Structure 1
Amino acid sequence: MRDWSHAEHVQAAGVEIVRMAGVLRDGDMSAPVRTCPGWNLAELTAHLGGLHRWVAAMVRDLSERRYDRDGMDMGLPADPGGYSAWLEEGAKVLSEALLSQDPQAPMWSWGADKQVRFWSRRQLHETVVHRVDAELALGVPVLIDEDVAADGVEEFLDVLPYVRWNPGVAELRGAGETISLQADTGAGWVITVDPDRFHYRRSLQPGTVTVRTATSADLMQVVWGRRSADDYAVEGDTGLFGWWREHSGI
């Protein structure tokens, strides 16, 4: 696995935003998004483009507090036919804000890392996951770069303990059971569920339960809940992984 810099996360996020805009350009914006129940593509796009602009505003100000996203004017077009172009414009807005600041400058975030660099990584993977949502909704092939996907799996594990809006995360405690996530392309992690917390390490070792996929791209979709149980192999304690999946939604 590679280690990423802030600038590389910013660049990759911009690429992903433009890529998603291209997916949406000729799509039916009223199409339901089955992986985000209750949303259609227009609502998904408004959510993601709004997030990019919300983050950009906080980064520009090095805000020490969370801005009220609902109270901000995101410039969303009245016609959903303009949403794709609006989303793409957000790539520049976000990138310029993120690159204008020191990656280690302190600011508010909802994760453990209270620095600008939290947001370059977070917005990359937020965008990748929602691009997958759009592609699944439109029935087009899902392709994720392996380096991006491997970092996406690890970022999921890094931020999961701080997902306060899902009370199930607080219940991810155990007696030392291990959940191994393995991609045939060579990336792997082992999660240990202890009485007081869970933690992970990079490892190719099997666990109490082992989940195997062909690629890191597949594995990223599994941990983010974008793959059904028919799309990956589980060895060992299947109930343990079912419990993990039930409690680890973001």
Structure 2
Amino acid sequence: MPTPEFFLRTLRADADRLAEVARLGLTAEVPCCPGWTVETVVRHVAMVYLHKIEAIQRNARPEPWPPAGLDDRDALELYDDATARLFAQLAESGPSAPSWTWWPEDQTTGFWFRRMAQETAVHRVDVELAHDVVTPIDAELASDGIDEVLRVMMGGVWDEGDSKHPVDASIRITAAGRSWTVALTGTEVTVTDGAEGEVAAEIFGEPAAVLLWVWGRLDQDAIQIAGSEEVTQEFRARLKEATQ
């Protein structure tokens, strides 16, 4: 996994870029997110930042949430304030301090260093797509983002009935020489490194393209697929359930 310093550096670059592009116009529609405008993205990211600040400060899930009055604030002003406060909080806490997170395996602020870098990279692309000025995602960040989606968002035990897409198959993702093999059932998703074993489908592509595909920002034209189209579609639907 990349270092906390790497996450901070990419987070800063993407947060700044998001604000820069948002100032081209808040009313532009985000093509990959029906019903969202640039303003929707800006407000969403600001609220996410503020939520994580509270999670770190309280070392508990922020409740009640959200605070009153935030909807009345100018979107870009709110975003700039939230961004400044997030970086101040991360600098003060460092990556090893205890913090509530929704992932039991990591209850430190380091989780939020990673999650906020990944969150911001994807939403930076959202506003860029709205204005047709897309720039690349750092390849190392994108590769880590694929790992995060598979292991943190999707991996683990699913209660029966949690998925409307209980595909029973294995699928492999390969990007920039790194592979993940994902075994799925209706009640469990297991992720292992490497390309061992047979799979029903394989997905290939540059790390950024694969990352944006798993997050539903690009369609299948951005990647390469070998094997079962049906399994691939069910896998993508299961990813959507895991990341909503």
- TM-score normalised by structure 1 residue count: 0.83
Equivalent residue of 2:101, what SS?
coil
| 1:85-96 mapped onto 2 (5 Å cutoff) | 86-96=78-88
Q: Is 1:191 aligned to residue 182 of structure 2? A: yes
**Contact 2:165/2:237, CA 8 A, preserved across alignment:** no
Aligned to 2:171: 179
Structure 2 residue corresponding to 1:98, chosen from 62, 77, 90 = 90
Instruction: Give the match for residue 207 of structure 2.
Output: 216
Residue in structure 2 matched with residue 237 of structure 1 by the alignment: 228
**Conservation of the 8 A alpha-carbon contact between 1:17 and 1:88:** no
* Alignment counterpart, residue 64 of structure 1, candidates 60, 69, 78: 60
CA contact (8 A) 2:170 2:183 kept: yes
Identity of aligned residues (%): 23
Q: Which moved more, 1:118-127 or 1:228-237?
A: 228-237
Distance in 2 (alpha carbons) for counterparts of 1:25 and 1:104: 35
1:39 aligns with 2:30: no
- 2:218 counterpart (217, 224, 227): 227
The TM-score normalised by the length of structure 2 is 0.85
Q: Deviations over 1:173-200 (max 9, x none)?
A: 62xx2211112x3232111124641111
Q: Pick from 114, 117, 123: which aligns with 2:107? A: 114
Q: Unaligned stretches of 5+ in structure 1?
A: none
| CA distance in structure 2 between the aligned counterparts of 1:107 and 1:170, rounded to whole angstroms | 32
Letter of the 1:248 partner, please give it.
L
Question: How big is the shift at 1:76?
Answer: 6.6
Aligned residue for 1:49? 46
Any conservation in 2 of the 1:168–1:247 contact (CA below 8 Å)? no
Shift of 1:172: 4.4
1:116-147 CA distances to partner (integer Å, 9 max, x unpaired)? Answer: 11111111111111111111111112310100
Amino acid in structure 2 at the alignment position of 1:180: R
Distance 1:217 1:68 in 2: 36
Query: Partner amino acid for 2:236?
Result: R
Say which of 118, 128, 137 aligns to 1:135: 128
The total of aligned residue pairs comes to: 236
Residue 23 of structure 2 corresponds to: 25
The 3-state SS of whatever aligns with 2:66 is helix
Change (3 A) 1:216 1:110: same
> 1:86 Cα deviation (Å)?
4.6
Change (3 A) 1:232 1:102: closer
Q: 1:103 to 1:37 in 2, by over 3 A?
A: same
The alpha carbon displacement at 1:168 in A equals 5.2
- Per-residue deviation at 1:154? 0.7
Q: How much is the aligned-residue C-alpha RMSD, in angstroms?
A: 2.6
Secondary structure of 1:71 counterpart: coil
Letter in structure 1 aligned against 2:237: E
Look up the SS of the partner of 2:177 in the other structure: coil
2:146 to 147, 150, 153: 153
